[in-house]
Amino acid sequence: MPAVPAAPPSYQPPAALVDLHILDLLELTESQERAAAALAVHQSTVSRSLQLMRRDFKLVPRLKARVCRHGHNACVQYLRLAYREHRLMAGLLRIGSDVLHHTLLLGLDGVQRVPPRFRSAEQWVELLRHGLLDGAILSSFSLAKPLPAEKEPVWAGISVLPLGSIGLQLVAQTPHTRGVLLPRRTTLPLLHKRLEAQGFEVQQQPLACQEPAAWLKRSRDRQLALPVVRELVGRRWLRSNRLEPVVDQPPLEERLWLLLPKGAGETTAAQGCWQGLRGRMVRAIAIQNVHPAAKLARSTQKCDGA
């Protein structure tokens, strides 16, 4: 979970959609403070745009909603779809991911990143359908139920493009720990189930603390392990944070997919993004396959989320 650098401002939304752009980032980051940081603006700018959108488009907050908590109607839906088309015209897709897989997107051409968040599979799909995202990296651990190896998840109106399978490693400063820090159960239900079945004590990271530094601090303070994809975070990051593989962990192999709206999945930008992600996954899998620990993990049974 290395720190995530800000994306370069190579693309700017049209002036007519600036307030919508700010509202989108507010919905995706789930706080005015985090949205302001992601946009590199003052928090008052985020607040002002929110008030303008609520006034001009008669938005009513939906505090218990999973997405579009600041309000939604057909008018804003059409605006979001128009904004998506403008991004695609520029050869750009707004791709979401969780903290574990966000490094797959770093430096990838044609990707407008957003701050990473752990979400359930259904929530990723809702964000795509509402036009808040143009794509998302989905882990099999985010599914509600295990999926047979030969099957792909299916949602109406969504293209599901396979990226490959890779193993997670539990790492900690105290490698004999049996405690693990995970995101909320609703976001990675199958990872919770797998580790609890193996006798690990799972603690949940608060929703408000999703930045990598917050994960590291809580894991150190409570001597808890963290799940990582070692080939994505890199050995240097593990050494600098004094993290070692946990002893006697179960195999934690996951499948990854790129989710795209069917209308956008056939575009040059979408196909380029998919190929770029697949290339990075192929390299990471190749490294993992020659690593002794990875070979040991793959020699045992696969996890429920694979």
71-105 pLDDT, tens digit each: 999 999 999 999 999 999 889 999 999 999 999 99
Residue 297: the pLDDT is 40
The residue with greater pLDDT, 4 or 52, is 52
b/e map 193-219, b = 16+ CB within 10 Å: bbbeeeebeeeebeeeebbbeebbebb
At residue 180, what is the residue type?
V
Structure tokens given for 171: 């790492």
Helices (H) and strands (E) in the chain, counts: 12, 10
Residue 1: the pLDDT is 60
pLDDT of 255 > 80? The answer is: yes
Give the Cα separation of 125 and 158 in Å (integer). 8
Q: What is the mean pLDDT of residues 157-177?
A: 93
pLDDT of 187 > 90? The answer is: yes
Instruction: Indicate the pLDDT class of residue 265, thresholds 50, 70 and 90.
Output: confident
Instruction: Indicate the pLDDT class of residue 258, thresholds 50, 70 and 90.
Output: very high
Tokens 């701050």 belong to residue: 115
pLDDT of 296 > 60? The answer is: no
Structure tokens given for 302: 């696969």
Give the model confidence (pLDDT) of 35-57 as tens digits: 999 898 999 999 999 999 999 99
Residue 32: the pLDDT is 93
| Window from 10-14, 48-52, 122-126 with minimum mean pLDDT | 10-14
Give the Cα separation of 68 and 23 in Å (integer). 9
Q: Is 233 exposed, middle or buried (0-12, 13-18, 19+ CB in 10 A)?
A: buried
